[in-house]
Structure 1
Amino acid sequence: MRVLVAGATGAMGKQLVPRLVSAGHEVFAMTRNESSKAALSELGAVPTVADALNRAQVEAAVREAKPDVIIHQLTAIGHIDTRHFERSFAATDRLRIEGTDNLLAAGRAAGVRRFVAQSNGAFTYARTGGPVKTEQDPLDPSPVSQMAPMVAAIRHLESAVLGAEGIDGIVLRYGAFYGPGTSMAPGSAQLEAIRKGKFPIVGDGGGVWSFVHVADAAEATAAAVDKGAPGVYNIVDDDPAPVAEWLPELARKLGARKPMRVPRFVGRLAAGEPGVVLMTELRGASNAKAKRELGWRPAHPSWRQGLQVS
């Protein structure tokens, strides 16, 4: 099939494009930078230059590619400052709203049959009920103010993709990425903060995280090109774990001291309300549906073995 990947130069795109090429698809890789064309060609894709926020450019790119499937991996997430969570996600929120609308409009005009989009299953589920959520469970109906724009952008993306007339919409709610090119890659600032004892456990550390290796997420995304009914799929590993469990284990792997514990009010001063939510209230996600309907099995079933620190 002809597949257009929007957001092909990020950590996910670098994993995904070669897998699509190896599967026999004709891959077109959308980038806004002329300088990225050579690298995308080396991955086996046909590069096409377009700014996702410019509808005319997106329409031209889609007309040129004539894809059967569009894969939306557009993000602009760098360092996440939990004290200013909304600023950290502002550019990505815009891509998830305007970029999604532009890609869907162009896809409808070009007769695209399937649309696969990156969503977020790591930070977005309702913070009530059991510790592990399925795709049937609601997103957070009342996120803290700094996280509200991110959740609203996710809602927009998912509603637009699943409601697109004449297109089979697939939404992949990825867990927290680790692996090459991610914020938890060996030598990353986040791992270094844990190594240096600057990443304490806030409150009871009861926030449950679901992780996924970026290569496993790419495998699931490649599978979604031609497998699975329209709908939402959690793309996470088999081992959701509370912060009080995974953070000390990661510190041990790094050869660091056991993380200190601080009360919620201290965490709020240092990391803002979103930081406290991530540490104490987050809910994990189940991957049972993705395994069942996409035929996917993570090669790294647990962060305990998969997360490399060197």
Structure 2
Amino acid sequence: MRIFIAGGSGAVGSRLVPLLVAAGHDVTGTARSDDGIGRIRAAGGRGVIMDGTDEASIRRAVLEAQPEVLVHQLTSLSGKFDFKRFDETFAVTNAMRTRGTDALIAAAREAGTGRVIVQSYTGWTNEHTGSRVKTEADPLDPNTVPSARKALAAIAHAEQATVAAGGLALRFGNFYGPGQSLGEGGQMLESVRRRQVPIVGDGAGVWSFCHIDDAAAATVAAVTHGASGVYNIVDDEPAAVAEWLPELARAIGAKPPMRVPAWVARTMIGEFGVSWMTTARGSSNAKAKAELGWRPRYASWREGFREGLGTGLGAA
């Protein structure tokens, strides 16, 4: 099939291109620079320059490619996160999830594209009350902290627009692996190594993880499987921060994380960071397994942290 990947040089897109080419598809990927185009071409795809926040640029790229399947993997998440100003950190990504999603869906409709797959997210977006693990049938958090409301609204918009257009929204869990913040040389991993990521309060916030290669594999599965709807793409073991953070430190040979009271942490990472570390809920992958025919290579972050963070990082 002819497959168009918006964000073909990004975290997931760069892994998708060679997988889809190897499966015999004709792949067009977008990038924002010549370097990105070069990486797409080296992987066997056709690269085009596209601005993921500009409707005219999006329309031109999609109509030229005339894809049968469109995959939206556009984000702008490089750099340091400011948890106190979360919406500001995510401003460009929010635009890509709202105006960018609308423009991609409109262009796909004009091009006669039959299938649309859009990247979403699951984690802090879940309602922070009730069951420890949420399914796709559970609502998004109606009481998210003010500093993250625009980001949550953008995620909700991308999902609603995608499903309304008959597409699939893939909610990826917290990424880890090579090239990620939680991966070899990444910002978060280095912070854990320096004991700069503490367990906040009781550390009861539940996180769901997804290795970056498992995210790509799930997207490949969604090209040919699954009805329109939302799917959680996470591993099999949601875990509290107090459980996974010490294991991560152990896997990379770092000292155990320190513990910090919530009131102290609030001055450093704001209300958003504290809520994520203490009251977040995890996500179930049962629907994706049943309907996409997908299984994560790393069924648990435990083995993923030991083996999948990057060259030379795993414990013996």
TM-score calculated relative to the size of structure 1: 0.96
Q: CA deviation at 1:36?
A: 2.2
- Counterpart of 2:143 in structure 1 is 142
Q: Aligned with 2:203: secondary structure? A: coil
Q: CA shift at 1:254, angstroms?
A: 2.3
Which whole-Å deviations, capped at 9, do the CAs of 1:33-72 have from their partners, x for residues lacking one?
2332222111111112221222122111111111011000
What is the letter of the counterpart of residue 150 of structure 1? A
Number of equivalent positions: 307
Matches within 5 A, 1:120-269: 120-164=121-165, 168-269=166-267
- Contact 1:208 / 1:284 at 8 angstroms: preserved in 2? yes
Cα 1:116/1:277, change in 2 over 3 Å: same
Q: How far did residue 270 of structure 1 move? A: 1.1
In structure 2, the partner of 1:67 is: 67
| Contact 1:11 1:180 survives alignment (8 Å) | no
Distance 1:241 1:95 in 2: 30
For structure 1, the residue ranges without an aligned partner over 5 or more in a row are: none
- Which residue matches 2:282? 284
CA shift at 1:80, angstroms?
A: 1.7
Please identify, of 191-200 and 91-100, the stretch whose mean Cα deviation from structure 2 is larger. 191-200
Q: CA–CA distance in 2 between the matches of 1:198 and 1:63?
A: 47
Deviation at 1:256, TM superposition (A): 2.2
Alignment of 1:77-88 (within 5 A): 77-78=77-78, 79-88=80-89
- 1:81 maps to a residue whose letter is D
Which residue identity is paired with 1:186? Answer: E
Percent of aligned positions that are identical: 51
Which piece of structure 1 moves more, 55-64 or 297-306? 55-64
1:89 and 1:202 mapped to 2: Cα distance?
Answer: 23
Secondary structure of the 2:188 match is helix
Unmatched tracts of structure 2, length 5 or more: none
Aligned match of 1:119: 120
Aligned-partner Cα distance in 2 for 1:32–1:192: 28
User: TM-score if structure 2 supplies the norm length?
Assistant: 0.95
Tell me by how many angstroms 1:139 deviates: 0.4
CA distance in 2, matches of 1:253, 1:226: 36
**What's the CA shift string for 1:129-148, capped at 9, x where partnerless?**
11100000000112100111
Match of 1:54 in 2: 54
C-alpha contact (below 8 Å) 1:70/1:116 kept by paired residues: yes
Alpha-carbon displacement from aligned partner over 1:258-298 (angstroms, at most 9, x marks no partner)? 21211111010111111101100111000011011111011
- Matches of 1:95 and 1:210 in 2, distance apart? 24
Q: Is the 8 A contact 1:77 1:89 kept in 2?
A: yes
RMSD of aligned residue pairs (Cα, Å) = 1.1
Contact between 2:3 and 2:69, CA under 8 Å: does it hold in 1? yes
